[in-house]
């Protein structure tokens, strides 16, 4: 009986077809893998963006902890911000300046920041903070000498100004809570109803 032997070209053709099938399946698998991988990466990025968007406010506050120290009262014009112009007080004027701010503000963190905000809002027009508080007839704490109550005989600050120093530092580094340019004491009832602290200053 004669044994059939396939011709070489037929054998090679079959081998080529098998190779082509294997190559095609491999390419298809890679394409599917790439598509799935890209889809997963896009879904992960979308989820990450969504999480950031949903928690944007909390993230911002965590990154800027000084904003959580102060109270915002938008209905009365007090909104805490931290991206304002920064200022420095010369060392020779530092104790004097802190004493003036202490004499003008209520013993309340938010009221101190409100006073500082007014001072720095005026400074934005071109004067230094020290020039603002020493302008004629503007700050009673200065021209009536009330600021002296917060200084020791040697010119050093009394311990009662510790909170004022903290708030002044924040304000000089860009934190403010209003856009007002003036204020009066609590007893000036007809002046304004915009206040951040009970028995604090009234701002306008």
Sign of the CA dihedral with 75 first, then 80, 86, and 87 last: positive
CB 80 within 8 A of CB 175: yes
First to last CA, the chain: 117
Per-residue buried b or exposed e for 8-35, using 16+ beta carbons within 10 Å of the residue's own CB: eeeeeeeeeeeeeeeeeeeeeeeeeeee
Are 18 and 92 found together in one domain? no
Count Cβ atoms below 10 Å from residue 178 Cβ, excluding itself.
Answer: 25
- Residue 1: inside a domain, yes or no? no
Low-confidence ranges of the chain (pLDDT < 70): 1-12, 19, 25-37, 44-66
Residue at token pair 């969504």: 50
Looking from the CA of 185 toward its CB, the CA atoms found within 13 Å total 8
User: What are the residues whose beta carbons fall under 8 Å from the beta carbon of 141, sequence distance 6 or more?
Assistant: 100, 101, 102, 103, 104, 133, 147
Are 107 and 46 found together in one domain? no
Distance, CA of 163 to CA of 158 (rounded, Å): 11
Q: In the prediction, which pLDDT does 155 show?
A: 96
Report which secondary-structure segment, H or E, holds 80: strand 78-81
Are 152 and 111 found together in one domain? yes
Are 36 and 130 found together in one domain? no
Are 109 and 188 found together in one domain? yes
Number of domains in the chain: 2
> Structural domain of residue 30, as residue ranges?
8-54
Question: Which tokens belong to 202?
Answer: 């009234």
- Residue 2: inside a domain, yes or no? no
Are 82 and 174 found together in one domain? yes
Are 179 and 125 found together in one domain? yes
If we measure between CA atoms, which residue out of 85, 88, 106 comes closest to residue 168? 88
- Residue 65: inside a domain, yes or no? no
Phi, psi of 59 (to 5 degrees): -65, -45
Are 41 and 96 found together in one domain? no
Q: In the prediction, which pLDDT does 128 show?
A: 98
Are 14 and 101 found together in one domain? no
CB 176 within 8 A of CB 113: yes
Are 94 and 45 found together in one domain? no
- Residue 77: inside a domain, yes or no? yes
- Residue 64: inside a domain, yes or no? no
Q: In the prediction, which pLDDT does 5 show?
A: 55
Q: In the prediction, which pLDDT does 35 show?
A: 62
Are 33 and 131 found together in one domain? no
Q: In the prediction, which pLDDT does 181 show?
A: 98
- Residue 62: inside a domain, yes or no? no
Looking from the CA of 141 toward its CB, the CA atoms found within 13 Å total 24
Q: In the prediction, which pLDDT does 103 show?
A: 98
Global pTM value: 0.70
- Residue 180: inside a domain, yes or no? yes
Are 88 and 165 found together in one domain? yes
Question: Which tokens belong to 11?
Answer: 């054998």
- Residue 61: inside a domain, yes or no? no
């Amino acid at each position: 009986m004669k044994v059939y032997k396939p011709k070489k070209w037929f054998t090679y053709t079959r081998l080529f077809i098998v190779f082509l099938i294997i190559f095609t399946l491999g390419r298809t698998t890679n394409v599917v893998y790439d598509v799935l991988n890209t889809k997963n990466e896009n879904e992960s990025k979308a989820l990450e963006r969504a999480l950031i968007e949903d928690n944007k406010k909390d993230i911002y506050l965590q990154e800027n902890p000084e904003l959580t120290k102060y109270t915002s009262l938008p209905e009365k014009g007090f909104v805490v911000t931290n991206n304002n112009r920064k200022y420095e007080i010369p060392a020779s004027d530092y104790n004097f300046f802190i004493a003036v701010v202490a004499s003008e503000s209520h013993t309340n963190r938010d009221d101190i920041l409100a006073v500082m905000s007014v001072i720095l809002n005026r400074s934005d027009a071109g004067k230094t903070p020290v020039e603002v508080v020493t302008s004629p007839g503007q700050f009673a704490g200065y021209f009536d000498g009330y600021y002296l109550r917060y200084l020791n005989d040697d010119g050093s600050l009394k311990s009662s100004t510790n909170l004022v120093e903290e708030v002044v530092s924040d304000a000089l580094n860009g934190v403010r809570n209003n856009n007002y340019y003036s204020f009066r004491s609590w007893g000036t009832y007809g002046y304004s109803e915009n206040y951040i602290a009970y028995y604090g200053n009234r701002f306008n």
